[in-house]
Amino acid sequence: MFSQKPMALFPYQTQDVAPQAELPWNITQVNAPSFWQKTKGDGVVVAIIDTGLDVSHAEFAGRIVAGRNFTTDSAADADGHGTNVAGIIGGANTGVAPGCRIMPLKVFGSGNGFAFQDAFRYIREYNSKAADADKVVAVNCSWGGSYDPVIHYIIRELVNEGVGVIVSAGNAGDGDPETSEIWNWPGFLWEPITVGALNQDGQPAGYSSSYDGIDLGAPGTLIYSAWPGGGYKLLSGTSMAAPHVTGAYALLVAAFKQREGRLPRGDEVECILFKHIKATGADERLSGTGILDLTYETKRWPLYRVQTGAFYNEAGADTTKESLVVAGFSAYKVRY
């Protein structure tokens, strides 16, 4: 049996809110619209291990894939946490990656003490059979609990295969980075990307857990997103911070596929993700190396060189290589 619980502050909802025409502040803060000039996620699949999803919500219309209920309860999201998380990742009007597809995996409920293990096994088995266009590229884990070696093993396998596993840091913080709240699993693991929560001023939220191993921060306080029944609510917690990074991972994978014509392997996308962080000056034990920043700049992408040692963009590398060939040299190009 497991003691995992969602990482939103209780009560989850602060208030019902009406649909808004403008982009939520948190989407603007991480500069997601800048990246949308390149891609909005373009159909890549993100798995959300949570309380389920309101699959009829307009925010996700036509973009649900291969969901599964691992409890004996209804597949509906009676809690709301999973729907809110999904809205931050890929909501049409509330998400970082509004073009991605969503795989809802319900694990919170009654009847199955191994639901979390089963959900991770499902992702691994699904990816082993799916075409590249339908493979899960990222997994959102906005929850915490006690250590499980089976789940840890599968997380390691997924990460080695290039699947991003993004987890919330936990809500046990006291605002003091000297006080380490290291109990949260799987946030303290090496393999996942662990996300702390930030306020609207870009600084760490007082409730966000602090410990060595938090990788970066993202908005987590009073986040506007979807709610079951077609509505919207404001929630706070590291549960709301992690899906910003999951959405970012989806954008980066989609851009990588456009450029390279294949899915990433190993840590190729994670390395690019960590170029999309802006320093905040806050203690790294609260928000890692800084806040997620999706400003699209071509300098973040690979450079090319030829054996002369000079560095160019790809067109420059091709020109130099061809000039060497014309001069009688055996030339090659290497991408970095």
The CATH number given to whatever domain includes residue 216 is: 3.40.50.200
Question: 329 and 234: one domain?
Answer: no
Question: 271 and 308: one domain?
Answer: no
Query: What pLDDT was estimated at residue 5?
Result: 63
Question: 242 and 326: one domain?
Answer: no
CB-CB contact of 238 with 171 (8 Å): yes
Least confident range of 3-17, 170-184, 195-209: 3-17
Nearby residues of 50 by Cβ (< 8 Å), 6 or more positions away: 6, 81, 82, 85, 86, 104, 105, 106, 107, 108, 140, 142, 143
What is the domain count for the chain? 2
Could you tell me what percentage of the chain is helix, strand and coil, using 3-state DSSP and rounding each to the nearest 5?
30, 20, 50
pLDDT tens-place string over residues 65-75:
999 999 999 99
Mean pLDDT, the chain, as a whole number?
A: 89
Q: Indicate whether 327 pLDDT > 80.
A: no
Question: 192 and 247: one domain?
Answer: yes
Give the domain range for residue 313: 304-335
Portion of the chain with pLDDT greater than 90, in percent: 73
CB-CB contact of 204 with 287 (8 Å): yes
Which residue out of 142, 168, 239, 287 is catalytically annotated? 239
Catalytic residue check, 81: yes
Q: Indicate whether 320 pLDDT > 90.
A: no
Query: What pLDDT was estimated at residue 111?
Result: 82
Question: 140 and 208: one domain?
Answer: yes
Question: 268 and 313: one domain?
Answer: no
Catalytic residue check, 176: no
Q: Which residue has the tokens 């990656």?
A: 97
Question: 50 and 134: one domain?
Answer: yes
Which residue out of 50, 54, 77, 293 is catalytically annotated? 50
Looking only at the bridges linking them, the beta strands covering 68-69 and 101-106 are parallel
Question: 183 and 214: one domain?
Answer: yes
Query: What pLDDT was estimated at residue 4?
Result: 61
Pairwise pLDDT comparison (266 vs 214), residue with the higher score: 214
Find the angle CA(135)-CA(140)-CA(142) to the nearest 5 degrees: 165
Distance CA 49, CA 154 (A): 14
Q: CA–CA distance from 57 to each of 36, 93, 148 (Å)?
A: 23, 12, 33
Query: What pLDDT was estimated at residue 73?
Result: 95
Question: 100 and 209: one domain?
Answer: yes
CB-CB contact of 236 with 223 (8 Å): yes
Question: 288 and 313: one domain?
Answer: no
Q: CA–CA distance from 233 to each of 2, 48, 285 (Å)?
A: 28, 19, 29
Element (H, E) at 102: strand 101-106
Q: Which residue has the tokens 């091709």?
A: 318
Question: 271 and 317: one domain?
Answer: no
Q: Indicate whether 54 pLDDT > 80.
A: yes
Query: Quick one: CA dihedral 107, 41, 59, 18, positive or negative?
Result: positive
Pinpoint the alpha helices (H) of 163-282.
238-260, 268-273
Q: Indicate whether 11 pLDDT > 50.
A: no
Single pTM value for the model: 0.86
Query: What pLDDT was estimated at residue 321?
Result: 79
Q: Distance of alpha carbon 154 from its chain centroid, rounded?
A: 17
Question: 237 and 112: one domain?
Answer: yes
Which residue out of 42, 54, 81, 168 is catalytically annotated? 81
Catalytic residue check, 50: yes
